[in-house]
Amino acid sequence: MSVTDKLLKVFLVDKQLRGLQSRLRAAEKFLSDQTGSLQQIESKKAALETQLRQLTAATSERQGEMARLDEKLKTVKERMDAAQTNKEYKAFLTEMNGFKEARDKVETEALEQMGKIDELKKQLAEMTTQRDDRQKVAKVADDDRSKRAAEIKDRLDELTKERATLAAEIPKEPLKTFELLIRARGDDAMAQIEIQDRKRHEYNCGSCMMSIPVETISSVLGSGRLTTCVSCGCILYVTEADAKSLQEPAGGKGKSRSSSAG
Ligand SMILES: [Zn+2]
């Protein structure tokens, strides 16, 4: 078996491996998108919770302040009631009005804060719903990923072993060339030579579709050494059936060898 034939076997196994892994990668990508989005929601939620805590503390400070002012108002009111002179009474009244004004201001602030607290609580509830929904999606995505990983595991192990066995048969240099091509071109690392018109010697590369000179065909068929497409650089091969027909004279009877009979 020629190096090209051996590489083709590795190539076909690699293709299956990539196909299997790409389905798993899609599931992994979806899962990581969900996890990322979940983290964003969690951090927004945490920020809202911090705001809510701060605002709640500020509101209770205002309420404390109001209680203190109420206490002062009560005292002044008592003193006012016990006032002996008109002057004294007026002085307490001024003081009382001052406290009342301060209390109104603090109360207004407290009410504003409570309004904000209600708003924050609403946002937080919505964020919690979003988080719960996203968690459900992430859970499904995680299950799906695990399921896919489990589904392909045996086949993946099998193919990986098969690939190692096949690759061990191939000399270092061509294998290296092949692997570089795989990295650069993936499924287009190797391409079949397509026969357009045998009699007119018209062939083309199955990857880039550019025509291939007949010498290239001879090179692939004859030596079986690595032959690349001059246009796209992929490793060219011919299928077994094509090789058989190409080795017979065009339109003529085959120079039949015992192995090619059938
Ligand atoms: Zn090509």
pLDDT of residue 36 exceeding 70, the answer is yes
- Which band of pLDDT confidence, cut at 50, 70 and 90, is reported for residue 254? very low
Structural domains in the chain, CATH included, are: 19-168 (1.10.287.1490), 175-250 (no CATH)
- What pLDDT does 261 receive? 39
pLDDT of residue 257 exceeding 80, the answer is no
Q: How far is CA 259 from the centre of its chain?
A: 52
- What pLDDT does 251 receive? 57
- Which band of pLDDT confidence, cut at 50, 70 and 90, is reported for residue 161? very high
- What pLDDT does 259 receive? 42
User: Cβ neighbours of residue 30 under 8 Å, at least 6 residues apart?
Assistant: 141, 144, 145
Give the CA distances from residue 259 to residues 243, 244, 255, 256, in Å, rounded to whole numbers and listed in that order.
13, 10, 11, 8
Name the β-bridge partners of 190: 235
pLDDT more than 90, % of the chain: 82
DSSP type of residue 259: G
The answer to whether the beta carbons of residues 126 and 33 sit under 8 Å apart is no
Q: How far is CA 1 from the centre of its chain?
A: 42
Instruction: Tell how far the Cα of 193 is from the centroid of ligand 1, in angstroms.
Output: 9
CA atoms lying within 13 Å on the CB side of residue 34: 21
Instruction: Tell how far the Cα of 213 is from the centroid of ligand 1, in angstroms.
Output: 12
- Whole-number average pLDDT of the chain: 91
How many whole angstroms separate alpha carbon 18 and alpha carbon 12?
A: 10
Instruction: Tell how far the Cα of 255 is from the centroid of ligand 1, in angstroms.
Output: 30
- SS3 of residue 83 by DSSP: coil
pLDDT digits (tens, 9 = 90+) for 189-243: 999 999 999 889 899 999 999 999 988 888 888 876 789 999 999 999 999 888 8
The answer to whether the beta carbons of residues 99 and 76 sit under 8 Å apart is yes
Instruction: Tell how far the Cα of 61 is from the centroid of ligand 1, in angstroms.
Output: 78
pLDDT digits (tens, 9 = 90+) for 75-101: 999 999 999 999 999 999 999 999 999
pLDDT of residue 1 exceeding 90, the answer is no
User: Cβ neighbours of residue 246 under 8 Å, at least 6 residues apart?
Assistant: 195, 198, 217, 221, 238
Instruction: Tell how far the Cα of 22 is from the centroid of ligand 1, in angstroms.
Output: 25
Instruction: Tell how far the Cα of 238 is from the centroid of ligand 1, in angstroms.
Output: 13
Nearest to 224 by CA among 27, 72, 2: 2
pLDDT of residue 258 exceeding 80, the answer is no
- What pLDDT does 250 receive? 64
